């Protein structure tokens, strides 16, 4: 091939330029420099709001995110065509939500407070008409035994919170007597949800503790003033104290599984004026102490000689304390409240109070000991902690006595048996109030 002439070289160069321009145009690089390569240094700063300003990365924030600034479209004077939805207008960012804190409830003054009463239509007026019997801690129910003028007995259930009556069932137990010194035994078997009511003649009626549906009827075969369940709820013990002219205290055990009743011989000098349980042990009171009975074997153990006969004993299994009254043998003959350590059976402290011995009640979760004085007016004394019988908190029940106390084991309610315008007074314990002085409430009709 010969050399190109100057004209030929020009034509080849022109053809090459035409091809390159076409390639750059096809790849959208018909600018200089091609392929997005910048041969200039970047600008030092761009004024805010200037066109083409680079977008800075968003900074991390721990507070509420800032709303982006909305871009408003240019106003248009041309109305939209019929059937065409109007363009959506920008929505302003929502205002921040403000959380309102509810006001604090009105503080409740500490100490005991009178909250109401329970009246039973048709019941005999006074303490012989109705008595608070027992509280079911699982269902938060109070059970009340009542008598009408025809001596018909009934058992009623009340809600602890509202005090509303939830049901009433007749008790086919003739000769039932409501004695404040020996209340009608009503016991609850938690595992089986059975409720047992014991009459003085030894007959026992049972109910479902939830529905009050009647269950089997049993009989101790002897009089019974007090009744106690074994821990597994398989046996019920009936106790009749030693009375003038009798041969001693009577104790029988009713076996629900075998449906049998048999006597347990109580040794001499143990009067059985009262009793209490601690786990598998049933303690009978006597002239000079306590007589333990193992409820697993139904055998008596060695007596615990305290040197006095415990009166109206109240036992706290959690704190291992026994609260009981002691009748002194010397002048002055003022009964003394004694607190015993159940591990050693040694006295922890003691004290006296005019007009006593008095009914006792104890709330183990709250650690509060209650003492009811039956004078006119009646008074309720509260000790906290119960090991210290110092200056108690005092609530005066104007014009009415306090004849018996039932403390709810799982709430702050107390049920006081009285002989005033209401048979059962309902109190609420709002916690310790040391140094507050006596408070008085007037119990009206």
Specify if 244 maps to a domain.
yes
Residue 8: its pLDDT value, please?
A: 65
In a domain? residue 254: yes
Query: Does residue 56 or residue 16 have the better pLDDT?
Result: 16
Residue 246 has pLDDT above 70, yes or no: yes
Q: What is the pLDDT of residue 96?
A: 47
For residue 245, tell me if it sits in a domain.
yes
Across the range 55-67, mean pLDDT stands at: 38
Write down the mean pLDDT value for the chain. Answer: 81
Whether 347 has a pLDDT exceeding 60, the answer reads: yes
Is residue 393's pLDDT more than 70? yes
Q: Which residues are CB-neighbours of 186 under 8 A, at least 6 positions away? A: 133, 134, 143, 145, 155, 195, 196, 197, 198
CATH code, domain carrying 200 = 2.130.10.10
Band (234; pLDDT cuts 50, 70, 90): very high
Pair 235, 252: CB distance under 8 Å: no
Q: Which of 121, 149, 152, 117 is nearest to 132 (CA)?
A: 117
> Is residue 72 scored above 70 in pLDDT?
no
pLDDT: which is higher, 70 or 312: 312
Q: Which residues pair with 314 in a beta bridge?
A: 323
Please report the pLDDT score of residue 197 as a whole number.
96
Backbone angles phi, psi at 13, to 5 degrees: -65, -40
Please spell the DSSP secondary structure of 229-263, one letter per residue: E-TTSSEEEEEE---TTSSS-EEEEEETTTTEEEE
Residue 68 inside a domain? The answer is no
Burial code of 313-324, b = ≥16 C-beta within 10 A, e = fewer?
bbbbeebebbbb
Tell me whether strands 439-442 and 393-398 are parallel, antiparallel or unpaired.
Answer: parallel
Distances (CA, A) of 214 to 172, 197, 208, 209: 11, 11, 7, 10
- Would you say residue 414 has pLDDT above 80? yes
**DSSP label of 138:** T
Q: Which pTM does this prediction carry?
A: 0.74
Q: Per the domain annotation, does 148 fall within a domain?
A: yes
Q: What is the pLDDT of residue 424?
A: 94
pLDDT for residue 105: 59
Q: Is residue 93 part of a domain?
A: no
Of the pLDDT bands very low, low, confident and very high (cuts 50, 70, 90), residue 76 is very low
Poorest-pLDDT segment among 14-23, 31-40, 317-326, 385-394: 31-40
Query: How many residues are present in the chain?
Result: 445
Q: What is the pLDDT of residue 7?
A: 66
Query: Taking the chain, what is the end-to-end CA distance rounded to the nearest angstrom?
Result: 137
Residue 31 predicted with pLDDT over 70: no
Q: What is the pLDDT of residues 135-144, one digit of tens each?
A: 999 899 999 9
Vertex 354: Cα angle to 349 and 359 (nearest 5): 70
d(CA 312, CA 310): 7
What's the confidence (pLDDT) of residue 82?
43
Do residues 306 and 343 lie in contact, with contact meaning Cβ atoms separated by under 8 Å?
Answer: no
238 lies in a domain? yes
Q: What is the pLDDT of residue 420?
A: 83
Structure-token pair, residue 255 = 């076996």
| Segment 350-377 mean pLDDT | 89
Count of domains forming the chain: 1
Q: What band does 323 get if pLDDT is binned at 50, 70 and 90?
A: very high
Q: Model confidence at 20, in pLDDT bands (50, 70, 90)?
A: low
Tell whether the model's pLDDT for residue 25 goes beyond 60.
no
Domain that holds residue 306: 126-364
**Is residue 235 over pLDDT 70?**
yes
More confident residue, 116 or 4: 116
In this prediction, residues 144-170 reach a mean pLDDT of: 93
Q: Per-residue pLDDT averaged across 267-276, rounded? A: 91
Q: How far is CA 144 from CA 42, 158, 178, in A?
A: 93, 8, 11
Query: Is pLDDT at 354 greater than 60 in this prediction?
Result: yes
Within a domain: 206: yes
């Amino acid at each position: 091939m010969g050399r190109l002439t100057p004209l030929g070289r020009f034509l080849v160069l022109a053809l090459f330029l035409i091809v390159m321009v076409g390639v750059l145009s096809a790849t959208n690089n018909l600018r200089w420099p091609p392929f997005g390569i910048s041969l200039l240094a970047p600008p030092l700063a761009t004024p805010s709001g200037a066109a083409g300003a680079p977008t800075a990365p968003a900074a991390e924030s721990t507070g509420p995110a800032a709303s982006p600034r909305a871009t408003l479209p240019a106003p248009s004077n041309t109305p939209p065509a019929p059937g065409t939805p109007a363009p959506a207008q920008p929505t302003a960012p929502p205002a921040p939500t403000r959380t309102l804190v509810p006001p604090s409830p009105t503080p409740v003054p500490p100490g005991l407070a009178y909250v109401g009463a329970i009246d039973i239509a048709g019941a005999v007026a006074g303490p012989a008409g109705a008595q608070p019997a027992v509280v079911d801690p699982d269902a938060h129910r109070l059970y009340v035994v009542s008598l009408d003028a025809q001596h018909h007995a009934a058992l009623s259930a009340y809600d602890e919170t509202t005090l509303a009556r939830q049901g009433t069932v007749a008790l086919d137990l003739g000769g039932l007597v409501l004695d404040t010194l020996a209340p009608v035994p009503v016991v609850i078997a938690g595992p089986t949800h059975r409720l047992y009511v014991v009459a003085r003649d030894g007959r026992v009626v049972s109910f479902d503790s939830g529905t009050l549906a009647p269950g089997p009827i049993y009989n101790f075969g002897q009089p019974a003033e007090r009744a106690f369940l074994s821990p597994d709820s398989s046996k019920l013990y009936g106790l009749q104290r030693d009375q003038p002219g009798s041969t001693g205290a009577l104790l029988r055990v009713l076996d629900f599984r075998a449906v049998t009743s048999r006597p347990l011989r109580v040794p001499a000098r143990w009067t059985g004026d009262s009793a209490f349980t601690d786990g598998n042990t049933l303690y009978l009171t006597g002239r000079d102490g306590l007589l333990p009975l193992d409820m697993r074997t139904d055998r008596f153990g060695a007596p615990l000689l305290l040197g006095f006969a415990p009166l109206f004993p109240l036992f706290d299994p959690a704190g291992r304390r026994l609260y009981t009254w002691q009748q002194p043998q010397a002048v002055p003959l003022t009964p003394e409240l004694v607190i015993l350590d159940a591990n050693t059976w040694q006295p922890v402290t003691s004290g006296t109070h005019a007009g006593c011995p008095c009914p006792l009640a104890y709330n183990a979760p709250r650690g509060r000991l209650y003492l009811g004085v039956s004078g006119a007016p009646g008074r309720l004394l509260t000790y906290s902690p119960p090991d210290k019988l110092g200056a108690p908190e005092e609530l005066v029940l104007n014009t009415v006595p306090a004849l018996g106390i039932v403390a709810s084991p799982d709430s702050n309610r107390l049920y006081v048996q009285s002989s005033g315008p209401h048979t059962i007074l309902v109190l609420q314990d709002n916690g310790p109030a040391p140094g507050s002085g006596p408070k008085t409430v007037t119990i009206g009709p």
